[in-house]
Amino acid sequence: MPSADAGTDWLAAIDPEEAATLTATLVAIRSYPGEERDVQEAVATWLRANGIAAEERPTEDLNRPNIVAQIENGPGPVLLLNGHTDTVLAAEGWSSDPWTPRRDGDRLYGLGACDMKSGVAAAMLATRSLDRHRDRWGGTVIFTSVVDEEAYSIGARALINGGIRADACIVTESSWEQPALGSVGKVLIKVEVIGKASHASWPWEGVNAAVEAARFAVAMERLPLGTHARLRASQCVLSLLSGSAQYVITVPEKATILVNRHIVPGETAESVLAQYQALAGGLNSPAQFELSIAPPYYPSWEIGADHPLVVALATAYSAETGSVPEWGYIGFGDANLFSDAGIPTVQVGPHGGNYHAANEWVSVQSIAAAARVLLRTAEVILA
């Protein structure tokens, strides 16, 4: 077994200031969905400069590659560390430039600071330590930096479609206060309503698609949603569009509704679609309803608190913080997809705030703490 001193050394090598600098480097590179190449190249450059082979792997958009670093250290389990480098669009109200990292004590401000370039940085630092301390573990570590999580998850989907396999996955999205063991899924239902145009002075000669769409939206509120002890199902009309963009005195013949449905275990895209189709059929509407599933789809995800990966994470978290984790359940993301691919998955990452809002920040100390939790967890999983 490794000595106590050896354990101190590899954990102490995680320097909070280096973590802050690395995070700031990534934050300074604008990376909206569709614009991730530069930040992905920065990730690959850092890995290679630290002696770790990093390769680009294509997604459906060849200008937006994933970065993959695989460290093989003899036979044993495979651990996947995953994060994304794209960010949401900058919100209004920033007190400083979103792409100019700003330090205020323990807080580092910048777009993507907590969601989730700090998590990527923590995984990069942990990957380097695992590479330098191969005597402490056996098996394979795969680090992946993916694109497009904030939009359609084309990065994670490309990895899965490319056949990536692992015995355990840790997504390093910000979730320090409550490491996550599951989340709702998401289904987008597109409802196209087809009526009949007529002059608006004689509306009885037409079928008003806008009215029939509104009837559908109101009837939705009576639908039973899935239930779960820890996850909450929900539904929301995201948009209801009808008529012409130009003012005309015509009964609208077409309308479109987009419904955002959050699902829990036991519900699927197909079961939800069938539910809405039955609702439309029961309206006795003179209009026609055509329903379909629109991308992106995320199945729900949950892992048991007694799973070996969760037990290992709990032990690592307690060793780092001195307290047992209070497990959380989050919104959907790449973790849903890895779990659905058959990879046991958890989520833990640095502590931050103002997600998807102005003045997003991350705790510098928590970036290093998250990296140490990854190392402690890896040492157990890859024992």
Neighbour count for residue 307 (Cβ, 10 Å): 15
CB atoms within 10 A of CB 215: 16
Q: What is the pLDDT of residues 5-52, one digit of tens each?
A: 444 589 988 999 999 999 999 999 999 999 999 999 999 999 999 999
pLDDT at 181: 97
**138: nearest Cα among 71, 68, 80, 48:** 71
Q: Position of tokens 């290992």?
A: 312
Q: What is the C-alpha separation between 380 and 308, in angstroms, rounded?
A: 9
Please say whether the beta carbons of 116 and 349 come within 8 A. yes
E strands in 167-315:
168-171, 180-183, 185-194, 234-242, 254-263, 288-298, 301-302
Residue 93 CB neighbours (<10 A) = 9
b/e code 60-73 from CB counts within 10 Å (16+ = b): ebeebbbbbbbbeb
3-state secondary structure of 83: strand
- Residues 6 or more apart from 21 whose CB is under 8 A from it? none
How many CA atoms lie less than 13 Å away from 24 in the CB half-sphere?
17
Residue-wise burial string across 244-261, b where 16 or more C-beta atoms lie within 10 A, e elsewhere: eeeeeeebbbbbebebeb
Contact 364, 122 (CB under 8 A): no
CA neighbor of 164 nearest in space, from 341, 336, 301:
341
Residues 324, 325, 327, CA angle at the centre, nearest 5°? 145
Tokens linked to 172: 């390093």
Helix (H, G, I), strand (E, B) or coil at 115: helix
The 10 Å Cβ neighbour count of residue 380 is 16
The H-assigned helical ranges of the chain are 4-12, 16-27, 37-49, 118-132, 154-161, 209-220, 269-281, 308-321, 334-340, 364-381
State the Cα–Cα distance between residues 273 and 269, nearest whole angstrom.
6
CA quadruple 222, 224, 230, 234: dihedral positive or negative? negative
Average pLDDT for consecutive 10-residue bins of the chain (383 residues)? 51 94 98 98 98 97 97 98 98 97 98 98 98 96 98 98 98 96 97 97 97 97 95 96 91 97 96 98 98 97 97 98 95 96 98 97 98 98 95
Task: Output the pLDDT for position 7.
Answer: 46
CB neighbours of residue 357 within 10 Å: 14
Q: Three-state SS for 45? A: helix
Quote the pLDDT of residue 245.
85
pLDDT score of 68: 98
Structural domains of the chain ordered from first start: 4-183+300-381 (3.40.630.10), 185-297 (3.30.70.360)
What is the rounded CA–CA span in Å between residue 162 and residue 4? 40
Query: Roughly what angle, to the nearest 10 degrees, separates helices 118-132 and 364-381?
Result: 40
- Measured CA to CA, the distance from residue 289 to residue 206 in angstroms comes to 16
Q: Rounded to an integer, what distance in angstroms lies between the CA atom of residue 200 and that of residue 329?
A: 50
Residue 33, amino acid: P
